[in-house]
């Protein structure tokens, strides 16, 4: 959520930002907020004046009673009561106007960074750099669920009977590989100075609206019936929510946290053939990284975060590339975002395995996460990035480590998490 002061004083900046994000349908909202803000401030001024009059009259009434001027005091009390009704109306109107303004401000997109390339959707994202040599072996790479089935490592049919489409059972070596990757990712981030955390897997609605846009919320979140609780779609939600309505001493920054959680997503809409299997699912696990820092440090942290993911994938001997997300592909709260994509030898193209985002003070402003320092209070900047998210990561892992004989090699950094195994041997 942007600062109302920015919209009030520089509405053209807000309008231009909306155009950059190709959301012209939101342009009328700027004028609507300006009109509501003018009315709100007038109402507040009137209410403040009425409160001041009430206080002044109250003192005068007390003085009149002391002087024995009861009739004059009673007449003034009637006037105060009349003003009280008007004050109540003003206060009620003030609350209603502020609620309208806030609801609209939640829809207006955050100001994107000047370096973000312009584009309508993800097809116009810009490649930054490749890491590792993408290879295509001379032998065929089966579909990822076929590879898993050769190890008796997945059961989609049983999961369908139990929970429906979008769920799976992982078993045996594949399940162990899944857990090994998560555990390695945890230790990798701890070694880089991040504090490990396991957060709540459900959050209240005020946290949901604090960390994401309404459009994302509708497309992603599962609500618990008859409870003010939602299942998290990523641990970032509850990790940022941890600091809701808090005032952080400046000397404690930055907070660098890495969190594990299961994630639950509706995944609304139809998806292509490459999103069958376990590519898009309703439940998965993820290791995340989160940073809360001073505004002047957020750009530096942004670079550090996405490089952590690149380094982890390179340690696992998986080629990756980074993409700068264009303006139209950015969620409304994001200032800047970089996707990390892994190489798929089967598809002979890259696919997304992580996303790094700088949200500036948008989440902090919604959640009232402030910092107190020598120069007063200000809103903290928040950033998040995927460390690793199996089972999508397993797709890249299995395809890049599959050998012609059907075995799967285990990189050295992961062997200790796999009981010393250097290779997985299929059962079929």
In this structure, the dihedral spanned by the alpha carbons of residues 94, 95, 98 and 104, taken in order and rounded to 10 degrees, is -130
Average pLDDT, the chain: 92
Residues 6 or more apart from 180 whose CB is under 8 A from it?
414, 417, 418
Rounded to an integer, what distance in angstroms lies between the CA atom of residue 152 and that of residue 258?
32
Residue 5 pLDDT > 80: yes
Tell me, what DSSP letter sits at residue 282?
A: S
**Fold of the domain spanning 122-424:** BirA Bifunctional Protein; domain 2 (3.30.930)
The string over 149-186, giving b where at least 16 C-beta atoms fall within 10 Å of a residue's C-beta and e elsewhere, is bbbebbbbeebeeeeeebbbebeebbbbbbebbbebbb
The question of whether 186 is a catalytic residue gets the answer no
Catalytic annotation, pick one of 40, 149, 150, 265: 265
Higher pLDDT, 79 or 264: 264
The residue among 356, 365, 366 whose CA lies nearest residue 336 is: 356
Of 52-61, 81-90, 228-237, which gets the smallest average pLDDT?
52-61
pLDDT at residue 273 tops 70:
no
End-to-end CA distance of the chain: 54
Tell me what pLDDT residue 279 has. 84
Catalytic residue among 186, 366, 370, 392: 392
Would you say residue 71 has pLDDT above 90?
no
Q: What is the model's pLDDT at position 269?
A: 53
- The Cα–Cα gap between 344 and 326 comes to 23
Quick one: pLDDT at residue 268? 59
Active site residue 375: no
At 381 the pLDDT is 98
Burial level of 299, CB count in 10 A (0-12/13-18/19+)?
middle
Output the CA angle 145-146-148, nearest 5 degrees.
Answer: 60
Q: Among this protein's residues, is 238 annotated catalytic?
A: no
Tell me what percent of the residues of the chain surpass a pLDDT of 70.
96
Q: How far is CA 313 from CA 51, 131, 199, in A?
A: 62, 9, 25
**Other C-beta atoms within 10 Å of 226: how many?**
6
Q: Assign 275 a pLDDT band (cuts: 50, 70, 90).
A: low
Rounded mean pLDDT of 79-108? Answer: 88
pLDDT per residue as tens digits for the range 177-234: 999 999 999 999 999 999 999 999 999 999 999 998 877 787 889 999 999 999 999 9
Task: Write out pLDDT tens, residues 333-380.
Answer: 999 999 999 999 999 999 999 999 999 999 999 999 999 998 899 999
Q: Give CA separation, 152 vs 58, 140, 149, 409, in Å.
A: 82, 20, 5, 17
Q: Among 104-118, 225-239, 258-272, where is mean pLDDT lowest?
A: 258-272
Counting beta carbons within 10 angstroms of the beta carbon of residue 83, is it exposed (0 to 12), middle (13 to 18) or buried (19 or more)?
middle
Domain 4-105 has CATH 2.60.120.10: no
> Could you tell me if 385 and 391 are in contact, meaning their C-beta atoms sit under 8 angstroms apart?
no
- Domain boundaries defined on the chain: 4-105, 122-424
pLDDT at 305 over 60: yes
pLDDT of 270:
43
Tell me the sheet residues that pair with 155: 169
- The reply to whether 8 belongs to the active site is no
Contacting residues for 146 by C-beta, under 8 A, at least 6 apart = none
Contacts 24+ apart (CB under 8 A), 197-200: 197/239, 197/257, 197/258, 197/259, 197/260, 198/259, 198/260, 198/261, 199/232, 199/235, 199/238, 199/239, 199/242, 199/259, 199/261, 200/232, 200/238
Q: Using omega within 30 degrees of 0 as the cis cutoff, is the peptide bond preceding 156 cis?
A: no
Tokens of 366: 């919604």
Does residue 426 carry a pLDDT above 80? yes
Residues above pLDDT 90, as percent of the chain: 81
pLDDT tens digits along 310-324: 999 999 999 999 999
Residue where the block lists tokens 């959707």? 121
Active-site residue (options: 53, 280, 285, 324): 280
Cα–Cα distance measured from residue 286 to residue 191, given in angstroms and rounded to the nearest whole number: 18
Using pLDDT thresholds of 50, 70 and 90, give the confidence band for residue 274. Answer: low
- Classify the C-alpha dihedral 213-215-216-218 as positive or negative: positive
Choose the catalytic residue: 40, 150, 355, 357: 355
**Tens digits of residue pLDDT in 113-149:** 999 999 999 999 999 999 999 999 999 999 999 999 9
Nearest to 291 by CA among 213, 334, 236, 244: 236
Answer whether residue 66 shows pLDDT above 90: no
Beta bridge partners of 409: 423
213 an active-site residue?
A: no
């Amino acid at each position: 959520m942007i600062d109302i002061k920015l919209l009030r004083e520089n509405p053209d900046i807000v309008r231009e930002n909306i155009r950059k994000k190709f959301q012209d349908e939101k342009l009328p909202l700027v004028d609507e907020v300006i009109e509501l803000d003018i009315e709100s401030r007038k109402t507040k001024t009137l209410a403040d004046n009425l409160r001041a009059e009430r206080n002044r009259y109250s003192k005068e009434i007390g003085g009149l009673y002391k002087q024995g001027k009861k009739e004059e005091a009673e007449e003034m009390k009637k006037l105060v009561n009349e003003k009280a009704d008007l004050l109540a109306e003003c206060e009620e109107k003030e609350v209603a106007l502020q609620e309208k303004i806030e609801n609209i401000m939640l829809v207006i997109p955050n100001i994107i960074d000047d370096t973000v390339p312009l584009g309508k959707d993800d097809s116009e994202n810009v490649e930054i750099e490749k890491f590792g040599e993408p290879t295509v072996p001379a032998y065929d790479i089966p579909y990822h669920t076929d590879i898993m089935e050769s190890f008796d490592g997945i059961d989609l049919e049983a999961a369908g009977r139990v929970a429906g489409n979008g769920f799976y059972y992982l078993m045996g070596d594949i399940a162990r590989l899944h857990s090994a990757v998560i555990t390695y990712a945890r230790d990798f981030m701890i070694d880089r100075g991040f504090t490990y955390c396991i957060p709540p897997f459900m959050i209240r609605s005020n946290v949901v609206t604090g960390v994401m846009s309404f459009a994302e919320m509708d497309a992603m979140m599962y609500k618990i019936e008859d409870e003010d609780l939602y299942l998290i779609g990523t641990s970032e939600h509850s990790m940022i929510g941890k600091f809701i309505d808090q005032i952080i001493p400046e000397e404690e920054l930055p907070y660098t946290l890495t969190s594990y959680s299961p994630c639950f997503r509706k995944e609304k809409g139809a998806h292509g053939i490459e999103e069958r299997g376990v590519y898009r699912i309703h439940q998965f696990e993820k290791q995340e990284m989160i940073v809360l820092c001073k505004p002047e440090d957020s750009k530096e942290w942004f670079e550090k975060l996405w490089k952590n993911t690149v380094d982890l994938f390179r340690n696992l001997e998986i080629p990756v590339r980074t993409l700068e997300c264009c303006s139209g592909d950015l969620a409304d709260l994001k200032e800047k975002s970089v996707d990390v994509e892994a190489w798929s030898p089967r598809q002979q193209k890259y696919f997304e395995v992580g996303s790094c985002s700088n949200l500036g003070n948008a989440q902090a402003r919604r959640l009232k996460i402030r910092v107190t320092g020598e120069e007063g209070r200000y809103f903290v900047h928040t950033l998040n990035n995927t460390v690793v998210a199996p089972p999508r990561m397993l797709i890249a892992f299995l395809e890049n480590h599959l050998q012609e004989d059907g075995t799967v090699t285990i990189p050295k950094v992961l062997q200790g998490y796999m009981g010393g195994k250097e290779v997985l041997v299929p059962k079929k």
